[in-house]
Amino acid sequence: MAEYSMETPLSKEDVEKLKAGDRVSLSGTIYTARDSAHERLVKLIEDGKDLPIPLEGQIIYYVGPAPTPPGRAIGSAGPTTSYRMDPYAPLLIEHGLAGMIGKGERSEPVVEAMKKHSAVYFAATGGAAALIAGSITSSEVVAYEDLGAEAIRKLEVKDFPVIVAQDCNGGNVYVEGQKKYAE
């Protein structure tokens, strides 16, 4: 397992060198979105309309942060379970989304889209929301303010810690970890 420091947006070459189990420290811009925002993004694509955020090479973090305490960029910001975004993720990947951050395994249609379009799925540590928030230097709502905590936010991150959970070659820490444990 390798360790990388990467700047966003990610290039195809960045994504293709990552393997399941690699540790990555992300810096730059990432966006937040959960299921309601994903549904709206997909509808815009289907209607041929412009999106409120860029997708090419970008990463979406599945999070609904807690209220921001005074003097902080954001409240606790731990990952949410990713399967709720699975109906929408393949189309977003097809339109350039390079990475997703969440927790839990992804469905076969998402995995196939990741393989076909060179995308990566990162896992952030659940239960470490306050610690993760320390890597977020700024947070700005950029779309769907009516969704409250689930609005799309533009986050600036510095050394945001993630693990490659599923890579663009079919590598999967959830499957590989179970095999190692069984041995």
Mean pLDDT in residue range 24-36: 97
What integer pLDDT is reported at residue 180 of this predicted model? Answer: 64
The pLDDT, as a whole number, for residue 132 is 86
The 8 Å CB, 24+ separation contacts for 112-120 are 113/89, 114/166, 114/167, 114/168, 115/168, 115/169, 115/170, 117/93, 118/12, 118/15, 118/16, 118/168, 119/15, 119/93, 119/168, 120/10, 120/15, 120/18, 120/164, 120/166, 120/167, 120/168
Query: pLDDT tens across 115-132, in order?
Result: 999 999 999 987 677 788
Percent of the chain with pLDDT over 70: 96
Determine the Cα angle at 158 with ends 154 and 161, to 5°.
100
Task: Assign domain 3-182 to a CATH class.
Answer: alpha beta
Amino acid at 66: A
Confidence of residue 182 (pLDDT cuts 50, 70, 90): low
Mean model confidence pLDDT for the chain: 94
Active site residues: 38
Residue pLDDT, tens place only, 45-67:
999 999 999 999 999 999 988 88
Q: What is the pLDDT of residues 137-174, one digit of tens each?
A: 999 999 999 999 999 999 999 999 999 999 999 999 98
**Tokens linked to 120:** 């990566």
At residue 12, does pLDDT exceed 90? yes
Q: Whole-angstrom Cα distance, residue 79 to residue 68? A: 16
Which residue in 20, 167, 38 sits closest to 95, CA to CA?
38
175/99: higher pLDDT? 99
Contact 112, 121 (CB under 8 A): no
Which pTM value belongs to this model? 0.94
Say how far apart CA 37 and CA 43 lie, in whole Å.
10
Mean pLDDT of 88-106: 97
Question: What is the distance between the terminal CA atoms of the chain, rounded to a whole angstrom?
Answer: 19
